[in-house]
Amino acid sequence: MTLDTNSNYLSKFLFGRGVDVVRISVIPDEEDAKAFDVPLEVHEPTKEALRQYLVADHRGHDLNDDRLRMVTFPQVKAIMSNVLMANAIWDWGKHDRAKLPPDHAVRTKAILVGILSDLGRVLMLPTFTRGRHRFTTSGMHEAKEFMHAFHYLCRRITFSTTLLHRQVEVMKDAGLPANEASRINQYHWYIQARIDKLCHIKLYRTPQATRSFTRLCILALPLLYGPYYVYIATAGTTNFAFALTLSMATSLIMIGIFNVEKALEDPFTEEGLDGVKVERAMHRILDALDVVVPPSTTPRAKK
C-alpha cells in the first residue's frame, strides 16, 4: 500500500483550517476517469484561487522582523481566546459538557494566564547578547544568569502547554469527539509556535564580526578625515569653527546610527519609541480572556 502524498497534504491543509475530509478520490489517468463520466481537465476557478493563495502565502514569508513582531501578538491573542472558548463554551453529544469538572474553564484560563506571565518575563529580560557578555568575565557571568532564567521560563511555558493538553484529555473523557480534540490541540501548537517566534526575535543579535567592524570604522575614520578638516580650517577657504563642527558632527552621526541599530536589536526592552510595549500587549490579551471567562468566576488566591 502506497501513500498518496498529495492527498495527505490536502487533508492536513484542510484540517488545519477546520474542514473535515470524509473521502478523497484519486483519478490516476484519463481511462479511469471515464468511470466518472467526467474528462480530466484543470478547473480554472480553482487554479486561480490556488494562485492567489500561493501569492499571499509567499508575501507572508517576506515579512521583516518589525512586521513579524507586530502581527505575532494579535495572533497569540486570537488563538488563546479561541482555546479558552473551546474549553468554556463547546458542547457535544447530549449536553455531555455537564460531565466536566465545574472549574474546568477557570483552570484552563489560569493555565493561559500563567503562559502569558512567563512569556512577558521572557521578553522583558535585559539584553544579554552584547560583546561584553562574550568577552568579559563579569559579562559572561551576567549572560549565564539571564540565559538560565530564559531557559527556565521557556521550560515553564512548555510544561503549561502540556497542562492544556491534559485539559483536552479531560474533555475527551467526557465524550468530546477525537477530531474536535485534535483541533484544540492544534491550537496549542499554534500558540507555542508563535511564542517560539517571539523568543527567536528576543535572542536575535547582529553578528559580532559586523559589530566589531562598525566600531573599528567609527574609531579609525577620524584618523582619515581629521587631517582633511584641518586642511580646510588652515587653507583659508573657511574658518576653524566650521571645520571643527563638521568633524564632530560626522563622528556623532556615525555613533548615533550605531547606537540606534544596537537599541533596535531587542524590540522588547522599550528603550525607543518603536519598541513593543510588552505590558500593554499582555494586558490586551488578558482582557480578551476576561471577556470569555469573566474574572468574577475565577477564584481569588487566599492572602
pLDDT tens-digit map of 45-97: 776 776 766 665 544 444 455 555 566 778 899 999 999 999 999 988 888 88
- What phi and psi values does residue 36 have, to the nearest 5 degrees? -95, 0
- The rounded distance, in Å, linking the Cα atoms of 257 and 16 is 44
Nearest to 204 by CA among 274, 266, 143, 142: 266
Mean pLDDT, residues 120-139 taken together: 76
Question: What is the model's pLDDT at position 303?
Answer: 36
Confidence check: pLDDT of 165 > 90: yes
Q: How far is CA 184 from the centre of its chain?
A: 19
pLDDT band at 136 (very low <50, low <70, confident <90, very high): confident
pLDDT level of residue 21 (50, 70, 90 thresholds): low
Cα torsion through 55, 61, 62, 65, rounded to 10: 150
Is pLDDT above 70 for 277? yes
The model's confidence at residue 238, banded by pLDDT at 50, 70 and 90, is low
| Helix (H) and strand (E) counts in the chain | 11, 0
At 249 the pLDDT is 79
Give me the residue spans of the domains in the chain: 72-205+277-292, 210-262
To the nearest whole percent, how much of the chain has pLDDT over 90?
A: 26
**C-alpha cell, 239:** 574658518
pLDDT of residue 59: 47
What's the mean pLDDT in 131-158? Answer: 82
Exposure string for 42-67, b = 16+ CB within 10 A, e = fewer: eeeeeeeeeeeeeeeeeeeeeeeeee
Give residue 297's pLDDT band: very low, low, confident or very high (50, 70, 90).
low
Band (153; pLDDT cuts 50, 70, 90): very high
Task: Provide the mean pLDDT of the chain.
Answer: 76
- The alpha-helical segments, DSSP class H, found in 34-177 are 44-61, 65-88, 104-123, 132-135, 137-173
The DSSP-derived string for 220-263 is HHHHHHHHHHHHHHHSSSS-HHHHHHHHHHHHHHHHHHHHHHHH
Residues 6+ apart with CB under 8 A from 4: 24, 26
Task: Give the SS3 label for residue 66.
Answer: helix
pLDDT tens figures, 106-125: 999 999 999 999 998 988 88
Share above pLDDT 70 across residues of the chain, in percent, rounded to a whole number: 61
Q: Please report, to the nearest 10 degrees, the dihedral formed by the alpha carbons of residues 239, 244, 249, 250 taken in order.
A: 100
